[in-house]
């Protein structure tokens, strides 16, 4: 695996692949990689001749008081895992490469409506940062396909909408959420949990499973959301949202809508904010 840090070297390598008629898959990450990220690489590897992964902790998607400075940077460890997962090139740019005029003076992309709810409501500007950096990375890598995990469900939907709206020639693929044996969704933030918090954390997935089961039994949406929130609060969580939404656009479903839905949770456990989701179909 080759590691490059500048745009010219990245484009030169990809130009060689294109000349040989090879397709390119892409997996953008913020590093501190785990088995969930590696599963994205394997999916890209199965669908493309060559695979590029990026590691870049993007400052524009972190709000005031969030964990940008303490977000773990583990490049050497990431390089080893990516090589084992079949990555051809790791693109590891610095901030100046991605934001030549500085993050505050960068062109910014806003995807309307779908970013106004859930994560977008609790983290203003977050998805502008996500959309902007993904668009920049797509411009640099020019992949045929890009793979994103379903754990960040709203992020996936935002990127799908951006790609369609801007007519970008990239196929966006999703990969299932990988979980620990007790159901906790794999996340770089799990390492912030204390031992006691880690033992409580699987309650999020258990609550999502219960929501899906009860909904499929015919229970109404809003009482289910309220009951799930109460269950998490009793377990020591401080929920930002517990919601059942439409998969397509994350809008609130009508009273008669029973298909094409997903439950989503964001909650703090101690100082760590965890998110998860579960499609109902």
Q: For the segment 50-109, what is each residue's pLDDT rounded down to a tens digit?
A: 999 999 999 999 988 787 888 889 999 999 999 999 999 999 999 999 999 999 999 999
Catalytic residue among 37, 38, 126, 205: 37
* pLDDT (0 to 100) of residue 25: 98
Q: Which two tokens stand for residue 214?
A: 């009860």
Domain with CATH 3.30.1300.10 in the chain: 188-279
2-175: CATH number: 3.40.50.620
Q: Which of 65, 162, 173, 176 minimizes the C-alpha distance to 113?
A: 162
- Burial label for 3, CB within 10 Å (0-12, 13-18, 19+), is middle
Average pLDDT for 268-274 = 95
Domain with CATH 3.40.50.620 in the chain: 2-175
Q: Which two tokens stand for residue 79?
A: 């390089």
Quote the CA–CA distance of 146 and 142 in Å, as a whole number: 10
Is 126 a known active-site residue?
A: no
Per-residue pLDDT of 180-195, as tens digits, reads: 999 999 999 999 999 9
Instruction: Tell me if the domain spanning 188-279 has CATH number 3.30.1300.10.
Output: yes
Helix then strand then coil, % of the chain, to nearest 5: 40, 20, 40
Predicted model pTM = 0.94
* pLDDT band per the 50, 70, 90 thresholds, residue 277: very high
Q: Are strands 89-91 and 272-279 parallel, antiparallel or unpaired?
A: unpaired
Per-residue pLDDT of 93-126, as tens digits, reads: 999 999 999 999 999 999 999 999 999 999 999 9
């Amino acid at each position: 695996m080759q590691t490059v840090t500048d745009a010219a070297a990245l484009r030169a390598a990809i130009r060689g692949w294109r000349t040989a008629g090879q397709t390119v898959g892409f997996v953008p990450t913020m590093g501190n990689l785990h088995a969930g990220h590696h599963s994205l690489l394997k999916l890209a590897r199965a669908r493309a001749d060559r695979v590029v992964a990026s590691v870049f902790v993007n400052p524009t998607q972190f709000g005031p008081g969030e964990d940008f400075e303490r977000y773990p940077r583990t490049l050497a460890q990431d390089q080893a895992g990516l090589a084992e997962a079949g990555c051809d090139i790791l693109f590891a740019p610095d901030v100046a490469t991605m934001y030549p005029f500085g993050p505050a003076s960068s062109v910014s992309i806003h995807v309307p409506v779908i970013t106004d709810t859930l994560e977008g409501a609790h983290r203003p500007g977050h998805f502008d940062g996500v959309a902007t950096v993904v668009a920049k990375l797509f411009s640099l890598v020019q992949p045929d396909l890009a793979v994103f995990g379903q754990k960040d469900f709203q992020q996936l939907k935002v990127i799908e909408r951006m790609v369609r709206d801007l007519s970008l020639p990239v196929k966006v693929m999703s990969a299932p959420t990988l979980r620990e044996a007790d159901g906790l969704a794999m996340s770089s933030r799990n390492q912030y949990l204390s031992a006691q918090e880690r033992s409580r954390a699987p309650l999020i997935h258990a609550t999502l499973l219960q929501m899906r089961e009860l909904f499929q039994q015919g229970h109404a949406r809003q009482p289910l959301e309220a009951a799930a929130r109460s269950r998490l609060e009793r377990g020591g969580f401080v929920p930002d949202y517990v919601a059942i939404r439409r998969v397509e656009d994350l809008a609130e479903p009508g009273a008669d809508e029973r298909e094409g839905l997903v439950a989503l949770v964001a909650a703090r456990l101690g100082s760590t904010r965890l998110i998860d989701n579960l499609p109902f179909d």
